[in-house]
Amino acid sequence: MQKILVRARRQVFSEMVGNNPSIFQGEGYDFIELREYMPGDDIRHIDWNITAKMQKPFIKIFREERELNVVLVSILNGSVHFGSKKFKQDSIADISALLSFSTLKNGDLLSSYIFTDEMISNTKPSKKLHQIQKNVSDILDFDAINKKVDFKVVADTLYKRLKRKSLIIIMGDFFEIPNFKLLAKKHEVISIIVRDTLEENPPQMGFASLVDPESGATLEGDFNASSVKAYAKKVKMHDHNLYETFRKDQVRFTKIYTHSQESVELRRLFEGR
């Protein structure tokens, strides 16, 4: 755990954000209106849909809020207990540490939740550094084996508990498709899909027995070229439906693999690349 904290703190306070105040730069703002683009405007605020319709660039104008309320949500069902380089659960802890340090560096409020098919734990909004250590420790120490996920519980609980408009960042592997439509109308919701390449494109293993870490069920079969290809196709179709649901519900999202540099992927997400 200490390695995760030290590495995340170093990346946030030096390498990761450089001279920028936070990777959340631009997130703590309320949208006011649209106007035509002028030289010197931040191109990240260009509204590409309106630009395409009007055939000239328009940007979104924002009013700065004094303080952003950042809520980190870790979905720790059984399937996060998997990874070729490292477990997805460890990647979620890494991402949580990076986001937490960046939040506090920017002077924003930080709170966190852990969910399975119920709310496991939560912390109140705070600006204290010890909260980061507790959150990372809770993620790493949690026994996710045989735990299931219920995204309705996640969405309903957050909708009821969070009174103030917040930036909610939900981390999990999302092998089930959630309905965050109502939650995203009240808050800004970002989903971070944490995956391992082996579960999307598994190798040919011949006859083998696999144990589902979520249900505990054993699956036996011939994992040959044909079956592996069919499985990969199903995962790809699932992800296509997942992405379409997120776009329809106005939920921003990205995918981060266990072998990726989390800090690089997070900067791409929040800088709108």
Residue 22's nearest CA partner among 68, 85, 87 is: 68
Assess whether 57 and 183 both reside in one domain: no
Instruction: Compute CA 101 distance to the chain's CA centroid, rounded to the nearest angstrom.
Output: 15
What three-state secondary structure class fits 166?
coil
Assess whether 54 and 148 both reside in one domain: no
Reported confidence tier of residue 156, pLDDT bands at 50, 70, 90: very high
Tens-digit pLDDT profile for residues 214-232: 776 776 767 788 888 988 9
CA distance 99 to 243: 22
Strand-pair partners of 115:
75, 119
Assess whether 77 and 199 both reside in one domain: yes
User: What's the structural domain count of the chain?
Assistant: 2
What is the separation, in whole angstroms, between the first and last Cα of the chain?
30
CA distance 216 to 262: 30
Contact 173, 195 (CB under 8 A): yes
Contact 241, 249 (CB under 8 A): no
Residue 126 domain flag: yes
Contact 27, 68 (CB under 8 A): yes
**Structural domain that includes position 157:** 2-17+66-270
Residue 42 domain flag: yes
Tens-digit pLDDT profile for residues 81-104: 999 889 999 999 999 999 998 888
Reported confidence tier of residue 36, pLDDT bands at 50, 70, 90: confident
Reported confidence tier of residue 4, pLDDT bands at 50, 70, 90: very low
Residue 22 domain flag: no
DSSP string, 15-70: IITTTSS-TTTTTSEEEEEEEE--TTS-GGGB-HHHHHHHTS-EEEEEEE-S--EE
Assess whether 48 and 179 both reside in one domain: no
Contact 144, 161 (CB under 8 A): no
Assess whether 50 and 95 both reside in one domain: no
Q: Note the pLDDT of residue 16.
A: 46
Assess whether 215 and 88 both reside in one domain: yes
CATH, residue 164: 3.40.50.410
Q: Note the pLDDT of residue 231.
A: 87
Reported confidence tier of residue 243, pLDDT bands at 50, 70, 90: very high
Assess whether 11 and 125 both reside in one domain: yes
**Alpha helix positions (H), the chain:** 2-10, 48-54, 88-105, 130-141, 151-161, 181-186, 197-200, 225-248, 262-270
Q: How much is the pTM?
A: 0.79
Assess whether 173 and 254 both reside in one domain: yes
Contact 66, 107 (CB under 8 A): no
Assess whether 41 and 135 both reside in one domain: no
| Structure-model confidence comparison of residues 255 and 203, the more confident one | 255
Tens-digit pLDDT profile for residues 11-28: 554 544 434 444 554 444
| Structure-model confidence comparison of residues 233 and 34, the more confident one | 233
Residue 38 domain flag: yes
CA distance 181 to 83: 30
Cα 56 to Cα 41, 128, 224: the distances in Å are: 14, 45, 53
Assess whether 13 and 91 both reside in one domain: yes
Assess whether 120 and 49 both reside in one domain: no
Assess whether 9 and 137 both reside in one domain: yes
Residue 23 domain flag: no
Residue 248 domain flag: yes
Q: Note the pLDDT of residue 42.
A: 72
Asked if the model's pLDDT at residue 254 lies above 70, the reply is yes
Residue 24 domain flag: no
